[in-house]
């Protein structure tokens, strides 16, 4: 396989459509702000419905050829893309740190390598996946659904892109990607790597822009067969409404308010500090972050001491520093949201253990929030019900295990959950009672094959592994096949 070189250099003022870089139909731009300094670091083209039309036409034109491309060829291109991501991991990590404030160590250790894993998994699935099975004289074929519109968020920019793009193109689909306008620079680098990996023109297309301009046009487009969105509940609902008239498939990975249930026999020294760090991972900007720690009331004082000590030891600062654990909140709107929710927690009467409102001392610029832990939180409080999406942990006490399970399920969300305890049979039993798409027991290692998605208002459909791959396939029954 030969590696092509782009006909024009990667520029932030361009889109990637039909195998090359091109300018927007209208000369409008959107600023990209470094959350550590509040300075504008780039301007990206602001797409319109005309740009979406061009990208969709390219994807539609490429679909038949790509769907018919041998599986081995698809796997080879994905393999090359995986190699290129790893070869450019430092540039990607630096870009992520600049555009959304990820601590550079976290970007290097998590944001980039986990993103690469989604590509590797999609490549490897192609070696074993049976696209046709014959059962009792009927052939069951799994075929690519068609042109897919992919809408990704600002909090895990590259990771969410690969979680959608890799399985879609592995399945034989063609795609139009709209990355978040708040953190689009890593997506542009990714587009260049896709180009260099040798993907045929039109298979992958990227259009930057706002949800109102580009996302809405994609959702309503009659030539897009499927929409996959990761974002807020509001955005997910708007996309589903816009997609309804064309009856396209819509998969949604939306909000969460995940519980971390500590069983009565939990080893608190092993359960509480990792629970705090899991809640604050990526500055708390993860939809599955376990931000409700549900603990035995009889052990509340021990939990409070461990949680406060852990949070107070976290180094918040310049994301370019190797010592930094948490950088800034990714954008001003989210910083203001977090500040408002912390103030609300105080108004509601929750006990503040550490952190609180205001910027981190020593930072007059940048959206730096203080790691905050509330205790004696009641499940009816808004801070226990609403997704805050920042470094804010709520500790909720319980008296009985049945009450603990009820608290865990007392939310409109159902994305992720954690259970900690020494009696594994009891831990498993409790996990089966929690209404969530993924339950993690005793902080296991991340598994890229484990399906990820939500119950209730956390969305529908699944990502990762074979379940995520199959979201991009249609099922055809050929009866009388023999």
117: annotated active-site residue:
no
Q: Does residue 3 belong to any structural domain of this protein?
A: no
Q: Does residue 40 belong to any structural domain of this protein?
A: yes
Q: How far apart are CA 453 and CA 451, in angstroms?
A: 7
Q: How far apart are CA 356 and CA 369, in angstroms?
A: 9
The verdict on 398 and 296 lying in the same domain is yes
Q: Does residue 8 belong to any structural domain of this protein?
A: no
Q: What's the gap between Cα 352 and its chain centre?
A: 29
**Which pLDDT score, from 0 to 100, does residue 13 have?**
82
What φ, ψ does residue 141 adopt, rounded to 5°?
A: -100, 140
**Which pLDDT score, from 0 to 100, does residue 290 have?**
98
Q: Does residue 31 belong to any structural domain of this protein?
A: yes
Largest CA distance in the chain: 74
Is the four-CA dihedral 61, 64, 67, 70 of positive or negative sign? Answer: negative
Q: Does residue 453 belong to any structural domain of this protein?
A: no
The verdict on 282 and 395 lying in the same domain is yes
The verdict on 202 and 267 lying in the same domain is no
Contact 401, 261 (CB under 8 A): no
Strand-pair category, 372-375 with 392-398? parallel
**Which pLDDT score, from 0 to 100, does residue 11 have?**
56
For residue 18, what are the CA distances in angstroms to 151, 191, 470? Answer: 18, 12, 25
The token pair that represents 102 in the structure block: 């990820």
The verdict on 467 and 437 lying in the same domain is no
**Which pLDDT score, from 0 to 100, does residue 5 have?**
42
DSSP assigned state of 111: I
The verdict on 73 and 217 lying in the same domain is yes
Apex 472 CA angle, 469 and 478, nearest 5: 105
* Catalytic residue (choose from 287, 354, 387, 471): 287
The verdict on 322 and 413 lying in the same domain is yes
Q: Does residue 166 belong to any structural domain of this protein?
A: yes
The verdict on 238 and 263 lying in the same domain is no
Contact 295, 257 (CB under 8 A): no
The verdict on 240 and 300 lying in the same domain is no
Contact 242, 391 (CB under 8 A): no
Closest to 375 in 3D by CA, of 272, 444, 453, 269: 272
**Which pLDDT score, from 0 to 100, does residue 249 have?**
97
Q: What domain count does the chain have?
A: 2
The verdict on 196 and 307 lying in the same domain is no
**Which pLDDT score, from 0 to 100, does residue 328 have?**
98
Intervals of the chain under pLDDT 50: 1-10
Quickly tell me which residue has 């408002």 as its tokens: 340
CATH at residue 433: 3.40.309.10
| SS3 label, residue 349 | coil
143: annotated active-site residue:
no
* CB burial of residue 440 (10 Å; 0-12, 13-18, 19+): buried
The verdict on 316 and 237 lying in the same domain is no
* Catalytic residue (choose from 99, 253, 387, 471): 253
The token pair that represents 136 in the structure block: 């009792």
Q: Does residue 4 belong to any structural domain of this protein?
A: no
Give the range of the structural domain holding residue 202, as residue numbers without chain letter.
14-254+459-479
The verdict on 402 and 265 lying in the same domain is yes
Q: Does residue 421 belong to any structural domain of this protein?
A: yes
The verdict on 191 and 147 lying in the same domain is yes
CATH at residue 127: 3.40.605.10
Tens of pLDDT, residues 319-352 = 999 999 999 999 999 999 999 999 999 999 999 9
Contact 466, 449 (CB under 8 A): yes
Q: How far apart are CA 478 and CA 145, in angstroms?
A: 17
What φ, ψ does residue 308 adopt, rounded to 5°?
A: -65, -40
């Amino acid at each position: 396989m030969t590696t092509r070189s782009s006909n024009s250099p990667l520029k932030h003022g361009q889109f990637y459509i039909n195998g090359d870089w091109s300018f927007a139909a209208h000369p409008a731009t959107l600023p990209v702000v470094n959350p550590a300094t509040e300075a504008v670091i780039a301007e990206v083209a602001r797409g319109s419905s005309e740009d979406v039309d061009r990208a969709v036409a390219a994807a539609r034109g490429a679909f038949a050829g790509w769907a018919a491309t041998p599986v081995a060829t698809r796997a080879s291109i994905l393999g090359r893309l995986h190699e290129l991501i790893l070869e450019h991991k430092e540039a990607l990590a630096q870009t992520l740190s600049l555009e959304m404030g990820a601590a550079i160590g976290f970007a290097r250790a998590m944001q980039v390598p986990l993103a690469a894993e989604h590509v590797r998994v999609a490549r490897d699935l192609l070696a074993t996946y049976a696209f046709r099975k014959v059962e009792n004289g009927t052939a069951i074929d799994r075929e690519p659904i068609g042109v897919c519109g992919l809408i990704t968020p600002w909090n895990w920019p590259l990771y969410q892109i690969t979680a959608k793009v890799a399985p879609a193109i592995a399945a034989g689909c063609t795609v139009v990607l709209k990355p978040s306008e708040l953190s689009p620079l890593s997506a542009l680098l990714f587009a260049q790597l896709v180009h260099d990996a040798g993907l045929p023109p039109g298979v992958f297309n990227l259009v930057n822009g706002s949800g109102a301009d580009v996302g809405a046009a994609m959702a309503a487009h009659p030539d897009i067969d499927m929409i996959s969105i990761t974002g807020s509940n509001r955005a997910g609902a708007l996309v589903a409404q816009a997609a309804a008239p064309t009856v396209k498939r819509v998969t949604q990975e939306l909000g969460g308010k995940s519980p971390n249930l500590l069983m009565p026999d939990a080893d608190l020294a092993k359960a509480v500090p990792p629970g705090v760090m899991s809640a604050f991972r990526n500055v708390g900007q993860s939809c599955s972050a376990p931000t409700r720690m549900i603990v035995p009331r009889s052990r509340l004082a021990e939990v409070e001491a461990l949680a406060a000590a852990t949070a107070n030891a976290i180094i918040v600062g310049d994301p370019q520093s190797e010592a930094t654990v948490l950088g800034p909140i990714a954008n001003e709107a989210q910083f203001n949201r977090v500040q408002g929710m912390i103030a609300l927690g105080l108004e509601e009467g929750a006990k503040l253990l550490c952190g609180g409102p205001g910027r981190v001392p020593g930072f007059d610029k940048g959206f730096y929030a203080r790691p905050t832990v509330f205790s004696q939180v009641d499940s009816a409080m808004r801070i226990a019900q609403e997704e805050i999406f920042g470094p804010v942990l709520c500790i909720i006490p319980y008296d009985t295990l049945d009450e603990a399970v009820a608290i865990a399920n007392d939310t409109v969300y159902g994305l992720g959950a954690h259970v900690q305890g020494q009696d594994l049979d009891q831990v498993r039993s409790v996990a089966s009672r929690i209404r969530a798409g993924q339950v993690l027991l005793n902080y296991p290692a991340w598994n890229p094959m484990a399906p990820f998605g939500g119950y209730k208002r956390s969305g529908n459909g699944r990502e990762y592994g074979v379940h995520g791959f199959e979201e991009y396939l249609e099922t055809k029954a050929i009866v009388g096949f023999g």
